[in-house]
Amino acid sequence: MKLFNKLFSIIFLLSSFALLSFVFYRSEIFHAGEKHTFYLKYYIFSVSLFVSSIIFLFLKEKIKIFTSILIIFLFFSFYIFEIFLFLDSREFRVWKSGVKYDKRSEIEFYTVSKKNDKDIKMIVAPVNFLKDDKLKILPLSGISNKKTILCNEHGYNAIYKSDRYGFNNPDFEWDKKNIDFLLVGDSFTHGTCVNTPDSIAGILRNLNKNAGVITLGYMANGPLLEYATLKEYLPIIKPKNVIWLYYENDLWDLKFELKNKILLNYLEDNEFSQNLHQKQDQINEIVQKQLDNFERDFKNSIRVNTNYSLKKFIKLHNLRLFFKSLSNEKMLRTISPEFKSIIKLAHNYVKKNQSNFYFVYIPEYKRYKKNLQNDYSFNDYEKVINYVKNLNIPVIDLNEELFQKNKDPLSLYPFRKRAAGFSPEINVIVTDIIHNKIKQKN
């Protein structure tokens, strides 16, 4: 037993030192000290572990035995739980389904695609710029007039040709005299992970052959980014109907958007504008620089570890995501005064431009995964609905109109997992509901 304790003590010490060294390498060398905030928690954990391994050397034999058993038990428990979570992961469900699936990440697909098409780009969402206080303007769209890689949730990497302002629209839509529908929202509105004709905006165009349809949606947008985008681009077109697509995690996104000084100007000053439609060249430059950084980091990471799947398992990828989701849920997603102000400001702004305003409520995946319909610690479903209705804004509630009418609501999500958007088939159903409700109102 003494030999075991001695051997375990050495392994514990060397392992904790190796972990600390790895954290130091990633933070100070690989990222050149630019991500201290991100790596702080890993520093705290690795330093604590290293100090504990030193203290362990001086413990009494009985305590060493008990501690050794506990550590070994926790070690194997974590990896057993990781396997359990993997069996419920998208990766496993895709493999089990037998669907032909391109497993490359967006950035990997982008670097390969560039070899044949030097002009192709990849989306860089506005949320990536929220922490950059040095920016003189905050981009609310992507690079203009380029084939743009979106994402992959259905087995293929969706690609669209961006318009003159960097959004997912056929460029000629901006030249139409009459715009019937203007969509504002996040990834569901962006048309995430489907090709443009299969997006909500694309299907609306198909339902209304002569109608002008423009989406200002972008992946990971929250309410303040959406309001800012509306303020910047609505005056150019003056649409007949504005459709605000709200997703239940928007209240969570808003917490981070409120920390950006430029975005706060939209909330505090009704006259504020960055005049972004006149600054697309600057937007292109800022977004391209960030895309270059993504590509550089990706290429460097390949040299460190080429076996991504094994790396995820060793790093307890699914387990860490699980604990992260638990910590996120503890931070209540409650309807805030800022959210109320944003919706009210957006409604007033749309009315001022003589457009109709519609609010579409999209329920989150976790609502059905964990049966949280009546759990207000998770979201403020009824409060949001009632507040919007009290502003005399027509509400199209997809929770009521679609999900609650489906015996298996999880089947509405790709591979029954959380997704950034619906499949082409579900987008058809969702768009039909929205379109019919608006026709009834008009």
Percent of the chain residues past pLDDT 70, beyond the cut: 91
Half-sphere exposure at residue 175, Cβ-oriented, CA atoms within 13 angstroms:
5
The least confident of 68-77, 228-237, 292-301, 304-313 is 304-313
Q: Which two tokens stand for residue 108?
A: 């990997």
Q: Are 86 and 315 in contact (CB under 8 A)?
A: no
Which one has a higher pLDDT value, 331 or 8?
Answer: 8
Strand order across the beta sheet in which 159-161 lies: 121-122, 147-149, 159-161
Residue type at 15? S
Task: Give the confidence band of 305 by pLDDT, cuts at 50, 70, 90.
Answer: very low
pLDDT in tens, 207-245: 988 889 999 999 999 999 999 999 999 999 989 999 999
Q: Who has greater pLDDT, 63 or 122?
A: 122
Structure confidence at residue 80 (pLDDT): 87
How high is the mean pLDDT of the chain? 87
Please tell me the predicted confidence (pLDDT) of residue 301: 67
pLDDT at 152 over 60: yes
| Closest residue by Cα to residue 345 from 197, 191, 234, 259 | 234
Q: Spell 306-330 as b/e; 16+ CB within 10 A means b.
A: eeeeeebbeebbbbeeeeeeeeebe
- Using pLDDT thresholds of 50, 70 and 90, give the confidence band for residue 307: very low
- Residues 6 or more apart whose CB falls under 8 angstroms from that of 50 comprise 13, 16, 17, 19, 20
- What digits encode the pLDDT tens for the residues 245-264? 999 889 989 999 999 999 99
**The pLDDT of residue 92:** 74
**Residue 304 pLDDT grade (very low, low, confident, very high; cuts 50, 70, 90):** very low
Mean pLDDT of 369-387: 68
Domain ranges of the chain: 2-86, 106-441
Which of 23-37, 87-101, 273-287 has the least mean pLDDT?
87-101
Sheet holding 241-247, edge to edge: 213-215, 181-184, 241-247, 356-362, 395-397
Residue 220 token pair: 């990971």
How does residue 376 score in pLDDT terms, banded at 50, 70 and 90?
very low
The pLDDT value given to residue 117: 94
- Is residue 103 very low, low, confident or very high in pLDDT (cuts 50, 70, 90)? confident
- Quickly state the pLDDT bin for 308 (edges 50, 70, 90): very low
E strands within 142-291? 147-149, 159-161, 181-184, 213-215, 241-247
CB-based contact 149:110 (threshold 8 Å) = yes
Higher pLDDT, 2 or 239: 239
Tell me the C-alpha distance between 192 and 195, whole Å. Answer: 8
pLDDT of amino acid 326 = 60
Does the structure show a pLDDT above 60 at 306? Answer: no
Give the pLDDT confidence score for residue 370 in this predicted structure: 61
More confident position, 370 or 101: 101
Q: Is residue 273 pLDDT above 80, yes or no?
A: yes
CA distances 114 to 27, 196, 302, 379, 387, Å, are 29, 21, 17, 42, 47
Cβ atoms < 10 Å from Cβ of 175: 9
Angle between helix 317-330 and 61-86 (nearest 10) = 90
**How do residues 389-439 score in pLDDT, each as one tens digit?**
999 999 999 999 999 999 999 899 888 888 889 999 999 999 999 999 999
Question: DSSP letters of 334-367?
Answer: ---HHHHHHHHHHHHHHHHTT-EEEEEEE--HHH
Residue 155 CB contacts under 8 Å (≥ 6 apart), including other chains:
94, 99, 100, 101, 102
Q: What angle do CA 244, 274, 219 make, to 5 degrees?
A: 40
Amino acid identity, position 185: G
pLDDT tens profile 40-59: 888 888 888 888 888 888 88
Least confidently predicted of 153-167, 306-320, 388-402: 306-320
Give residue 278's pLDDT band: very low, low, confident or very high (50, 70, 90).
very high
If one compares 18 and 141, the residue with the highest pLDDT of the two is 141
**CA-to-CA distance for 344 and 339, rounded, in angstroms?**
9
Query: Using CA atoms, how far apart are residues 377 and 366, in angstroms rounded to an integer?
Result: 13
Q: What is the pLDDT of residue 5?
A: 66
- What's the half-sphere exposure (Cβ side, CA atoms, 13 Å) at 340? 11
CATH 3.40.50.1110 is the classification of domain 106-441: yes
Give the other-Cβ count within 10 Å of 439's Cβ: 9
Q: What are phi and psi of 420, to 5 degrees?
A: -85, -10
- Distances in Å between the alpha carbon of 71 and those of 8, 11, 19, 28, 85? 10, 12, 16, 29, 21
What Cα–Cα distance (Å) separates residue 309 from each residue in 93, 127, 149, 325?
15, 27, 23, 21
Residue predicted with more confidence, 104 or 96? 104
Report yes or no: 128 and 109 within 8 Å, Cβ to Cβ: no
The predicted structure's pLDDT at residue 333: 60
Q: How far, in Å, CA of 191 to CA of 218, rounded?
A: 8
Amino acid at 240: K
Is a pLDDT exceeding 70 seen at residue 112?
yes
DSSP state of 216: -
Q: How far apart (Å, rounded) are the C-alpha atoms in residues 30 and 38?
A: 13
